[in-house]
C-alpha cells in the first residue's frame, strides 16, 4: 500500500480554519512539493507564494508543524509527525488568503529602520576602498546575507507582543549599514533604531538566530545597535 500523508492546510484568512488533504508520500519530497500537489491536483483555489524553489528568494516561507521554514528546502521526511503535516501562513503578518501573507508591515518596518543605503559620494567620485579585514567591514559581512524572507519576523516573540517593534530583519539591516563606511545615513538611522520599538525593545530571546535559514544572528546585530546607540547618546548625538 502506498503511504499517505495527512496534510492540514490553513484556508481562508485570519479567522478561518485548517482543511485536511491526503497526499502520497514520495522520496525526497519537500513541503513545497506537497503544497503544490494540493493546489494542482486537489484544490486549485489554494493560494500560496513561491518563486525560485531552490532556497534563494525566501518567498515560500510558511509555518510547518509550528515552526517557520522555507518550504522548498524542508524535506517532508525531516518534519513529518506521525504521518501528519500542519502547514499554515507565517505568523505575525496579516493573512491575505490561505498560506499567503501580506509582507507590507515587514518591509514598512525595514524602511522605518532606515534600511536604504545613503551614499556619501557621487558617481563622479573615485570608488572608496574598504579593507576586507577591517572591524567594520567584518561586522557588516556578518549581517549582509539576509534576503528578507520574514522567517525571523514570524518567529520573534517581541514582534508578537509589541506591534511597534521594528523586528530582527530590519534591525539587522540597520546594523550592516551602520558599519558601512560609505554610508552617510547614520545620524537618522541611529535615531530611528533608538526610538520606541527599536533595538532596545529586543528581549534577546534569540528566536531569530535559531530559525534563520541563512544562519545569521540578528540578535548579535541588535546587541551591536544597543551599544552603538548608547554610545551616541552619551556623546550627545542622540536626544533622550
Residue 153 has which C-alpha cell? Answer: 519576523
Looking at residue 166, its pLDDT comes to: 98
- Assess whether 93 and 12 both reside in one domain: yes
CATH code for the domain in which residue 188 is found: 1.10.1060.10
Alpha-carbon distance of 113 to 224, in angstroms, equals 15
Residue 59 lies inside a defined structural domain of this protein: yes
Residue 239 lies inside a defined structural domain of this protein: no
- Assess whether 163 and 60 both reside in one domain: no
CATH code for the domain in which residue 27 is found: 3.10.20.30
- Assess whether 63 and 80 both reside in one domain: yes
Q: Which residue among 101, 130, 161 closes a domain?
A: 101
User: In Å, how far are 100, 113, 175, 206 from 63, measured between CA atoms?
Assistant: 11, 26, 27, 18
Looking at residue 129, its pLDDT comes to: 86
Q: Is the distance from CB of 72 to CB of 52 less than 8 angstroms?
A: yes
Looking at residue 1, its pLDDT comes to: 44
Alpha-carbon distance of 49 to 56, in angstroms, equals 14
Residue 15 lies inside a defined structural domain of this protein: yes
Q: Which residue among 101, 126, 141 closes a domain?
A: 101
Q: Is 9 helix (H, G, I), strand (E, B) or coil?
A: strand
Alpha-carbon distance of 80 to 102, in angstroms, equals 27
Residue 93 lies inside a defined structural domain of this protein: yes
Alpha-carbon distance of 88 to 92, in angstroms, equals 12
User: How many domains are contained in the chain?
Assistant: 2
Q: Is 183 helix (H, G, I), strand (E, B) or coil?
A: strand
Q: Which of 160, 150, 170 is nearest to 214 (CA)?
A: 150
- Assess whether 57 and 32 both reside in one domain: yes
pTM of the model: 0.93
Looking at residue 202, its pLDDT comes to: 97
Place of cell 483555489: 45
- Assess whether 197 and 174 both reside in one domain: yes
| Percentage above 90 pLDDT, the chain | 86
Residue 47 lies inside a defined structural domain of this protein: yes
Residue 132 lies inside a defined structural domain of this protein: yes
- Assess whether 108 and 227 both reside in one domain: yes
Residue 86 lies inside a defined structural domain of this protein: yes
Looking at residue 128, its pLDDT comes to: 84
- Assess whether 35 and 86 both reside in one domain: yes
Looking at residue 127, its pLDDT comes to: 86
Q: Is 212 exposed, middle or buried (0-12, 13-18, 19+ CB in 10 A)?
A: buried
For the chain, the average pLDDT equals: 95
- Assess whether 123 and 78 both reside in one domain: no
- Assess whether 36 and 20 both reside in one domain: yes
Alpha-carbon distance of 19 to 8, in angstroms, equals 5
Q: Which residues form the domain of 227? A: 104-234
For 187-230, write each residue's pLDDT tens digit: 999 999 999 999 999 999 999 999 999 999 999 999 999 999 99
- Assess whether 120 and 43 both reside in one domain: no
Q: Which of 162, 3, 11 is nearest to 95 (CA)?
A: 11
Residue 155 lies inside a defined structural domain of this protein: yes
- Assess whether 87 and 108 both reside in one domain: no
Q: Which residue among 70, 101, 132 closes a domain?
A: 101
- Assess whether 156 and 55 both reside in one domain: no
Instruction: Compute mean pLDDT per 10 residues along the chain, 240 residues long, and list them.
Output: 88 92 96 98 97 93 97 96 96 97 97 95 88 88 93 97 97 96 94 97 96 96 97 88
Amino acid at each position: 500500500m502506498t503511504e499517505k500523508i495527512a496534510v492540514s492546510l490553513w484556508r481562508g484568512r485570519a479567522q478561518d480554519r485548517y482543511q485536511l488533504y491526503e497526499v502520497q508520500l514520495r522520496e525526497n519530497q519537500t513541503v513545497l512539493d506537497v503544497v503544490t500537489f494540493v493546489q494542482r491536483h486537489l484544490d486549485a483555489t489554494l493560494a500560496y507564494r513561491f518563486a525560485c524553489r531552490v532556497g534563494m528568494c525566501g518567498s515560500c516561507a510558511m509555518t510547518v508543524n509550528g515552526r517557520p521554514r522555507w518550504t522548498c528546502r524542508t524535506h517532508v521526511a525531516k518534519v513529518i509527525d506521525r504521518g501528519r503535516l500542519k502547514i499554515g501562513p507565517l505568523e505575525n503578518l496579516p493573512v491575505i488568503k490561505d498560506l499567503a501573507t501580506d509582507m507590507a508591515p515587514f518591509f514598512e518596518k525595514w524602511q522605518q529602520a532606515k534600511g536604504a543605503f545613503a551614499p556619501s559620494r557621487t558617481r563622479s567620485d573615485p570608488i572608496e576602498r574598504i579593507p576586507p579585514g577591517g572591524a567594520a567591514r567584518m561586522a557588516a559581512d556578518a549581517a549582509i546575507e539576509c534576503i528578507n524572507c520574514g522567517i525571523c519576523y514570524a518567529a520573534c516573540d517581541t514582534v508578537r507582543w509589541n506591534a511597534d517593534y521594528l523586528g530582527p530583519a530590519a534591525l539587522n539591516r540597520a546594523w550592516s549599514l551602520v558599519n558601512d563606511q560609505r554610508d552617510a545615513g547614520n545620524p537618522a538611522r541611529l535615531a530611528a533604531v533608538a526610538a520606541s520599538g527599536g533595538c532596545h525593545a529586543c528581549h534577546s530571546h534569540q528566536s531569530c538566530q535559531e530559525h534563520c535559514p541563512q544562519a545569521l544572528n540578528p540578535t548579535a546585530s541588535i546587541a551591536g545597535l544597543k551599544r552603538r546607540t548608547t554610545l551616541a547618546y552619551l556623546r550627545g548625538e542622540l536626544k533622550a
